[in-house]
Amino acid sequence: MTLVIMAAGMGSRFGGLKQIEPVGPNGEFIIDYSIYDAIKAGFTKVVFIIKEENYDIFKDTVGKRIEGKIDVEYVFQDIKNVPKGIVLPEDRVKPLGTGHAILSCKGVVNEPFAIINSDDFYGRDAFIKAANFLKEGTTDYAMIGYLIGNTLTENGSVKRGYSEQVDGYLSNIIESTVYREDDKIKVEPLDGRESFYAKDEDLVSMNMFCFKPDMIDYLDEHFIDFFNKNKEDLSKCEYLIPDVVFERIENDNLKVRVVDTDAVWKGVTYKEDKEELVSYINNLIENGEYPTNLYK
């Protein structure tokens, strides 16, 4: 089983590469804890999707720490990697999205895989749930669903994919701004529909999906279609995994199982979040879930 880590993005809110901000007692990054948990859950390979200019810093930090612990591959997300005949505006710097990121794995990932963001602390239970799903060998895909109350920060609003499901299968993801308001969880859909309040146990997507290799083939085959649909918006359009998933649900009768986890999400959406994350990790170390020095 392979874990694909999307690490090509810059942390615009945090002001730098969130992926390499130390949060552990011996300089560990968030990404180190994800890899450690993935190994514990049974993953045997990790693929980093990065910008080519960040290759040296990744290999010299994260890469060298996990050598010998798990097989490692690097692939580069390059904005110039587009279908023949597609010409993007010269001033475009915005990445082409998570679908384009996963497409970068073509030829490298040929087995069932899970995807995560590099700058989110997912919690071990999520990796165990993902691994157990992949071991089933089903043709279904899966979304690891987090209790929305386990994914918030006290320091501001966050973007979450509020999920709707039918009989345990994903029927919709409503991309939304989410925050606590007077002890309630306010959900404001980004598409302009009316806001609503959620229960703490409602499930959201944290961009942790389980796919089969055919997902990469689909992304490749339909990349040109994406550009044809967005030819009037080539400066901003993004090829996004949730959009592709729902396209396949509607057109291919794809089934995406919602696998819930009680793991607690932590991240550094805001600079003020770091202190809370460091404290949370230290508590896990004190409780024996992680060693003080992660890879010794």
The whole domain housing 94 covers 2-144+204-286
Residue 268 domain-assigned?
A: yes
Q: Looking at the predicted structure, is the pLDDT value of residue 153 above 50? A: yes
Residue 165 domain-assigned?
A: no
Answer yes or no: are the C-beta atoms of 176 and 188 closer than 8 Å: yes
DSSP state of 11: B
List, for residues 253-296, the tens digit of each pLDDT value: 899 999 999 999 999 889 899 999 999 999 999 999 999 999 87
| Entry pTM | 0.92
Residue whose tokens read 């993801």:
173
List, for residues 43-82, the tens digit of each pLDDT value: 999 999 998 888 888 888 888 899 889 999 999 998 889 9
Residue 267 domain-assigned?
A: yes
Residue 164 domain-assigned?
A: no
Report which secondary-structure segment, H or E, holds 102: helix 98-103
Please tell me whether residue 52 adopts helix, strand or coil conformation: helix
Residue 24 domain-assigned?
A: yes
Residue 154 domain-assigned?
A: no
List, for residues 226-253, the tens digit of each pLDDT value: 999 998 889 889 999 999 999 999 988 8
- What does the DSSP assignment read for 245-293? HHHHHHHH---EEEEEE-PPPEE-SSTTHHHHHHHHHHHHHHTTSS-SS
Residue 166 domain-assigned?
A: no
Task: Please name which of 142, 147, 175 lies closest in space to residue 254, comparing C-alpha atoms.
Answer: 142
**Residue 126 φ/ψ, nearest 5 degrees:** -65, -40
**Number of domains present in the structure of the chain:** 1
CATH code at position 214: 3.90.550.10
Residue 109 domain-assigned?
A: yes
The type of residue at 166 is: V
